[in-house]
Structure 1
Amino acid sequence: MAIKKQYLKSKPVCKVTFSVPAEEAKKVAVLGTFNEWNQKKAVQLKKLKNGTFKGTVDLEKDNSYEFRYVVDGQWTNDDQADAYAWSDFAAAENGVLNV
């Protein structure tokens, strides 16, 4: 898994690209505090020919966001998250993204 951050000079925004290698998966999405953990607002990642799912979201910079991936219904963290934060709601850790 990979997270790429690209800061825009023209706006206080960071373009964050999520990449998840999951050849066998049919569907991968990113949920987090930036979309209120709402499945309907989830960032759906697109499957590339090499089996990696990829998608980009614009996040306001100078903030921290908690997030997790949903791969075919299974919640999972990114091993390259900036940090991890315990969630009592999920009874698990969420990845933290600092932008």
Structure 2
Amino acid sequence: MSHSFSQARVAVELLQESADVRAQFAAKVNRLSGGERSLPDDFTPKRIVLGMLLKDREVLTPESIFGFSQITIAQTAKALATRGVSVEVVGIPAARADALRLAS
């Protein structure tokens, strides 16, 4: 789980620092949306959402997140805040996650 938070941080950093990465990302968004979505050439994220599978939990609370993941989320949020990016953490109910897997 914690590696996903680090991946989010690296993705934001790359999008902010590399015009080539931004162009590749914009092209992928356009392609995957069938041309219905486009991003400006200077797009950089202002907010990221980290989704966590709830499994046996009903709701996501700080207490329901493993300690190491809590630290990694906090470090990621702090690092991204210095880059002007806010972080939101949301719970994904297991039933919803199963439906998402079927749709992909």
- TM-score (norm. length: structure 1): 0.25
- TM-score (norm. length: structure 2): 0.24
Larger helix percent: 2
Larger strand percent: 1
State the structure with bigger RCO (CA 8 A, min sep 6), 1 or 2. Answer: 2
